Structure 1
Amino acid sequence: MTSLPTLAKGRSAAGKPLHLVGFRVGNEEYCFEILTVQEIIRIVPITAVPDAPEHVEGIINLRGRIVPIIDFRRRFRITGERTVDEADRVIVVTGTGNATVGFIVDGVSQVMKLPAEDLSPAPAGGAGCDAEAIRGVGNVGDRLVIVLDLDKMFSADELTTLTGVS
């Protein structure tokens, strides 16, 4: 049996269930570890930032803290246009070093527990250039969910540029 990766905050995945927040983008379901999710908010007015990367929608002021907002679809090159509707949300997440970003998603699905033995490694070479951001693929009922590793979604330089946190 392959050993599972170490989770953020130094906890071992072996034998312990993962506590995840699931969300939808297009037809797929993704998850962040629940401890990285600061909050989930409705879409609010977003201030555009000149010369920002294409996937950066802009910034918001979240109770005095400036948070960059990332369009998940554009960041991970998911095809299909995003249509704005009532289900859209911003998932505000905080990674290692207190770098906080928000992701625009099509909807939040559920909080779930995934037994560690139900997490399979991401398929090698099949997930494109951002494959390192995928911690693994989990079976939840009759569907597959993609478990993301927040700390590997951006390079250190990109995260510093986005958040000012190095």
Structure 2
Amino acid sequence: MTKDKSPMDQAIKETSIKNGKYLTFSLEQEEYGIGILKVKEIIGMMPITSVPRTPRFVKGVINLRGKVIPIVDLRAKFGMESIPYTERTCIIVVEIDSKDATVLIGIVVDAVSEVLNIHGDEIEDTPAFGTHLDTEYIMGMAKTEGGVKILLNIDRVLSIKEIQNIQGVM
């Protein structure tokens, strides 16, 4: 017979999941973070091959050492204004756990900032922005000396259906 976990046990588990190292990056004027264990590599911008009939936020694919990697522009995914790429623009290759498999996807960001060690007590839950706003892709808000960093649950930035659609064209 298994014992149900108490709210305190659940809170400790959630805090330990959030506790750790995060790669931080910028989009517009905001700072975001992704758990470092999800990051496989950071590469400079390279030619992206467009794939017809994909969503606007899917920029296409790249050939990374013989592997075809789909590329998602986070600015477009988050509904931000498109800007020209600069010398600081880069692709972060992340590992996403989807329903069926683990998938490598490149995300285009304005600039990579640093790796931060963020403790669970520095992370607050995502505030309630309203009943109709989907924020399940936000893991929490990290309070740092430089302000607030939005911590992303990269597995939820794209929906399962979006991941399947991207896999379908690869």
TM-score above 0.5, yes or no: yes
Gaps of 5+ in 1: 7-11
Write the deviation string for residues 61-84 of structure 1: whole angstroms up to 9, x where unpaired.
Answer: 111111111111110112x33122
Q: SS in structure 2 opposite 1:160?
A: helix
2:84 equivalent to 1:83:
yes
Rg: which structure is higher?
2
Quote how far apart the aligned CAs of 1:126 are: 5.4
Higher mean displacement: 16-25 or 69-78: 16-25
Aligned to 2:139: 135
Write the deviation string for residues 44-74 of structure 1: whole angstroms up to 9, x where unpaired.
Answer: 0000001010111110011111111111111
Quote how far apart the aligned CAs of 1:35 are: 0.3
Aligned to 1:151: 155
Sequence identity of aligned pairs in percent? Answer: 33
Aligned 8 A contact 1:100 1:163 in 2: no
1-side partners of 2:152 and 2:131: how far apart? 12
Quote how far apart the aligned CAs of 1:141 are: 1.1
Tell me the amino acid that sits aligned with residue 78 of structure 2. Answer: F
Moved over 6 A (4+): none
Aligned 8 A contact 1:22 1:110 in 2: yes
1-side partners of 2:17 and 2:57: how far apart? 36
1-side partners of 2:76 and 2:131: how far apart? 15
Tell me the amino acid that sits aligned with residue 63 of structure 1. Answer: R
Aligned to 2:22: 20
Aligned 8 A contact 2:96 2:103 in 1: yes
Q: TM-score, normalised by structure 1?
A: 0.86
1-side partners of 2:55 and 2:17: how far apart? 39
Aligned-residue Cα RMSD (Å) equals: 2.3
Paired residues, number: 158
1-side partners of 2:76 and 2:12: how far apart? 27
Q: TM-score, normalised by structure 2?
A: 0.84
Aligned to 1:38: 40
Tell me the amino acid that sits aligned with residue 85 of structure 1. Answer: T
